[in-house]
Structure 1
């Protein structure tokens, strides 16, 4: 698809690996950083006018939700004290980045079957009552509703030590990474999701090399498919 310079796409690129290096380049580097970097590079090769916001929660994790955070978040905005506004300042920034993005690309390694704590902290900061989801106990029917603008897309780029975590695989029921991202993101209004995974990391043999190669091809194909459609998901 030829670049449409009249409309730039806003991408939010998040890395969550505790490893700061990139596999294939750095010793003991991260596979998810490898895939997320490849995705962004391929995207910008086709659409260099697009804007990327980068957030490395792996090396600079958001503060976890605290009692003060909860009190501030559930306090009506016009009643918040200055200290409460300060408590929510980081969450406000993270939420603003998410709301502004058309495409969210997350490098999410599997740690003990689930998400890294750093990425879970990001999720807890962006699932905000009155900001990304609404709640009204007096509302008929469902008292909760999503508030994210329509048309966003999520790309999950993950890596696993074992194999067989995809749908129908031997360990599919233990794959809490995709559920841990898809469920809260759908809850706030983001339903369009694609996933690419590297497996066999703990085996460190030819199967890992083949999985990396297949994942890189899958990333390239995914970029191509998204670009061939409306990149903003409209």
Structure 2
């Protein structure tokens, strides 16, 4: 029985293209996996807390040496990482904000990119510790910033998410883009078709 982790990051609870597309993805995924379970994490409506000096200090303190305050500071990170580990597949809904990801999604990444838990340092450099699995990244942007366009250099969303997810061990990134939605429905329909293809693959 598969478990799907769904991460919404749009602050908009209505009229959000990424929420709409992700809802369609969930419906298709549930049809393909009728016994599957779904875990929802909405970092758009309820963003994780920003890292503090105490949180960062706790990250680098061995578990047996942490104070009660440090353990409390790690509670959010512990919960989010546990959700990641339990998921067989992940879907991240990510609207572009100012050429990159939303602030809520950035705090989620800050909480899950944790030394000794999701990555560690080796002589060859940092190495991700999470088991690889499919990560469907559903994005939406007003302009078309895809790789073949003249303004692709402004797209710091796709590149950042790929680097951040690869860093913790998630290599199988499957990008579904609604690019240039300011121009009309066509990009959204293209993304819908990509959803169907991704689920049936």
Name the TM tier (shorter chain).
over 0.9
1:40 partner SS: helix
Q: Which residue of 1 aligns with 2:9?
A: 16
Does the CA contact (< 8 Å) of 2:3 and 2:88 recur in 1?
A: yes
Query: What secondary structure sits across from 1:202 in the alignment?
Result: helix
Question: Aligned pair 1:67/2:53, yes or no?
Answer: yes
For the pair 1:145 / 2:114, whether they are aligned, the reply is no
2:181 to 187, 193, 201: 201
Which of 1 and 2 has greater Rg? 1
Contact 2:146-2:179 within 8 A present in 1 as well? no
Q: Does 1:158 align with 2:139?
A: yes
Matched, 1:172 2:181: no
Residue 193 of structure 2 is aligned to residue 213 of structure 1: no
1:121 to 103, 107, 131: 107
Q: SS of the counterpart of 2:185?
A: helix
**Counterpart-to-counterpart distance in 2, 1:214 and 1:201:** 11
In the TM superposition, what is the alpha-carbon distance from 1:212 to its structure 2 partner? 1.2
Q: CA deviation at 1:199?
A: 2.5
Distance 1:43 1:202 in 2: 28
More strand per residue: 2
Aligned to 2:194, what secondary structure does the other structure show?
Answer: helix
Contact 2:4/2:88, CA 8 A, preserved across alignment: yes
Q: Runs ≥4 in structure 1, deviation > 2 angstroms? A: 199-203
Q: How far 1:144 sits from its partner (Å)?
A: 2.1
Preserved CA contact (<8 Å) 2:32 2:199: no
The 3-state SS of whatever aligns with 1:130 is coil
Structure 2 residue ranges without an equivalent (≥5):
none
Please report the RMSD computed on the Cα atoms of aligned residues, expressed in angstroms: 1.1
Aligned length: 201
